[in-house]
């Protein structure tokens, strides 16, 4: 899409927002442009949901996430929105050669917690003969190592692998593709709006301009950075209407350049958020913390938590910092016990200790301006 056509589309989106949503109505008739719209985040949307959510006919699809900031967030989609987003993902996979109705094996997060689950998924791979295996890079790596150690045959039907929600370490990628003999495709998206960019067999993350527009802003000033420089990725969805995502902060760092051939936008993600939980003799990627959906939902709905942060103070000592909740001591202790049990399963350790601290606000990182859901003081 040319720059002028994209600009026209963004101005139409801004005008439509001023007509539809009370939150944006102050811009109606003022001549405000898309760039005049405020940059949004989860906390802002949570505080203004009544002015942003549209009444819709029919049921909503509901999910929960903590996102990148530790802020519990309720995601809503209509069936039409979900269908449009799902079809876009299918189109991206088809371009990589995955059949429309191809078989898919989805690796659950439990694969990282228990070696027996790796065996289970290895058996399922041989029985189901998938065209696509989808999972976190770390999970795909564990399955690849298991297949090589045990001499498991790779199904001839396998066309590609899909990594989502986790930065692909180059060393892991090489081993994964060597063992499976097919390319690993990167999917970049968010629970709120799904697909943002998808990598083809050449490895380039191509932004889907039919779905989103991506800005690159300085995370402190929220002003655009020069072309090809790194900043925070801020997205606008052209699909989501039940809850608008206009100039929405992802918290992820990256840069955008134009492809020399097609002219389309190419995204390069930075692994600045990539960190690990450090235990004696091993490390566990903090990506596993993103999948505790039930715990996130319980914090947000039952305890009314606005924000939380898990701090690793030593190898086995953690502190759960909670902001925005007037929970009793007993409820906070229950939160600590729930999290301790979950972490023990994920980290395969019974020595963990969890303390709970109630704070007024969780201070943002002085560099990125973001409140990270996990901080480690273990070097």
What is the per-residue pLDDT across 271-282, written as a single tens digit (0 to 9) for each?
545 457 888 888
Pick from 190-204, 206-220, 283-297, 329-343: least confident = 283-297
Q: What is the pLDDT of residues 77-102, one digit of tens each?
A: 999 999 999 999 999 999 989 999 89
Percent residues over pLDDT 90 in the chain: 47
Higher-confidence position of 115 and 136: 136
The DSSP string of 264-324 is: -EEEEE--TT--EEEETTEEEEGGGGGG-HHHHHHHHHTS--SEEEEEE-SSSEEEEEEES
Grade residue 246 by pLDDT with cuts at 50, 70 and 90: very high
User: For all residues of the chain together, what is the average pLDDT?
Assistant: 85
* Mean pLDDT for the stretch of residues 165-180: 82
pLDDT surpasses 80 at 222: yes
| Whether the Cβ atoms of residue 144 and residue 179 lie closer than 8 Å to each other | yes
* Mean pLDDT for the stretch of residues 104-124: 82
pTM for this model (two decimals): 0.74
CB crowding 189-207: b at 16 or more within 10 Å, else e: bbbbbbbbbbbbeeebbbb
Higher-confidence position of 133 and 351: 133
Per CATH, domain 3-90+208-263 is 3.30.70.3000: no
Distance CA 50, CA 247 (A): 19
Closest CA to 201 of 159, 255, 260: 159
Tell me which residue has tokens 């949503």: 21
Closest CA to 146 of 114, 168, 170: 114
Grade residue 327 by pLDDT with cuts at 50, 70 and 90: confident
Closest CA to 160 of 188, 209, 198, 190: 198
Domain ranges of the chain: 3-90+208-263, 97-182, 276-376
pLDDT value for 368: 40
User: 115-128 and 137-149 helices cross at what angle (nearest 10)?
Assistant: 80
Instruction: Match domain 276-376 to its CATH number in 3.40.50, 1.10.20, 1.10.3210, 3.30.70.
Output: 3.30.70
Grade residue 164 by pLDDT with cuts at 50, 70 and 90: confident
Angle in degrees, CA 147, 153, 156, rounded to 5: 125
pLDDT surpasses 70 at 354: yes
Grade residue 169 by pLDDT with cuts at 50, 70 and 90: low
pLDDT surpasses 60 at 370: no
φ/ψ of 248, rounded to 5, equals -100, 125
CA atoms within 13 A on the CB side of 23: 21
* Mean pLDDT for the stretch of residues 187-213: 93
Grade residue 367 by pLDDT with cuts at 50, 70 and 90: very low
How many residues are recorded in the chain?
379
CB crowding 244-263: b at 16 or more within 10 Å, else e: bbbbbbbbbbbbbeeeeeee
pLDDT value for 76: 92
Q: Give the bridge partners for 164, in sequence order.
A: 187
Distance CA 253, CA 216 (A): 8
Higher-confidence position of 327 and 163: 163
């Amino acid at each position: 899409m040319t720059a002028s056509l994209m600009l026209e589309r963004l101005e139409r989106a801004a005008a439509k927002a001023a007509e539809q949503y009370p939150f944006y109505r102050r811009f109606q008739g003022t001549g405000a442009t898309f760039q005049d719209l405020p940059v949004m985040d989860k906390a802002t949307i949570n505080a203004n949901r009544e002015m942003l959510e549209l009444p819709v006919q029919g049921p909503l699809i509901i999910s929960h996430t903590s996102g990148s900031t530790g802020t519990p967030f309720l995601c809503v989609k209509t069936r039409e929105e979900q269908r449009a987003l799902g079809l876009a993902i299918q189109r991206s996979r088809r371009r990589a050669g995955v059949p429309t109705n191809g078989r898919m094996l989805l690796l659950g997060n439990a694969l990282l917690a228990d070696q027996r689950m790796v065996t289970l998924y290895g058996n399922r791979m041989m029985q189901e003969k998938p065209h696509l295996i989808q999972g976190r890079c770390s999970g795909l790596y564990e399955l690849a190592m298991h297949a090589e150690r045990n001499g498991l045959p790779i199904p001839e039907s396998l066309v590609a692998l899909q990594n989502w929600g986790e930065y692909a370490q180059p060393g892991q990628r090489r081993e994964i593709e060597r063992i499976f003999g097919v390319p690993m495709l990167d999917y970049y998206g968010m629970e709120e709006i799904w697909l943002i960019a998808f990598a083809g067999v050449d490895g380039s993350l191509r932004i889907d301009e039919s779905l989103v527009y991506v800005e690159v802003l300085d995370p402190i000033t929220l002003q655009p950075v020069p072309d090809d420089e790194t900043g925070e990725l801020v997205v606008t969805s052209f699909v989501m209407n039940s809850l608008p995502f206009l100039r929405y902060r992802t918290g992820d760092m990256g840069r955008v350049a134009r492809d020399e051939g097609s002219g389309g936008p190419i995204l390069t993600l930075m692994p600045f958020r990539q960190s690990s939980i450090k235990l004696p003799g091993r490390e566990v990627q903090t990506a596993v913390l993103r999948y505790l959906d039930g715990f996130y939902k319980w914090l947000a709905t039952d305890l009314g938590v606005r924000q939380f942060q898990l701090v690793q103070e030593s190898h086995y000592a953690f502190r759960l910092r909670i902001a925005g909740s007037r929970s009793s001591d007993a409820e906070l202790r229950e939160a600590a016990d729930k999290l301790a049990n979950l972490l023990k399963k994920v980290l395969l350790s019974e020595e963990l200790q969890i303390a709970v601290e109630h704070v007024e606000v969780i201070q943002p990182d002085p560099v990125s301006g973001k409140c990270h859901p996990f901080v480690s003081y273990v070097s």
